[in-house]
Structure 1
Amino acid sequence: QEEGEFYRKMAEAPNPFGDGKAGERIAEILLELYEKGELKVRSSRFI
């Protein structure tokens, strides 16, 4: 029983690295800014 309780607590613990969706959120924000014409993109000096 104690082992089952330990497993349950571990399985329900929040992920310290977030939910894995940060990239999606960033892409949505960048797309929204681009569509509004508010995203400033400078060309690279290295190309």
Structure 2
Amino acid sequence: MDKKQQNFEKAVESLKKMISTMNYGSITLIVQDNYIIQIEKNEKIRLK
């Protein structure tokens, strides 16, 4: 497996974990030179 594929697989696993733990919010991927270099998670808490 090449470095690009490893980078992608690692990002997908991180995204799965983040999505499964949040109810409201957003996730931003930062890409540089065809590699995902950062993942940002902004979670919102709704008070009813």
Normalised by the length of structure 2, the TM-score is: 0.38
Bigger radius of gyration: 1
TM-score (norm 1): 0.38
The structure with higher relative contact order (CA 8 Å, sep 6+) is 2
Q: Return the structure number with greater helix share.
A: 1
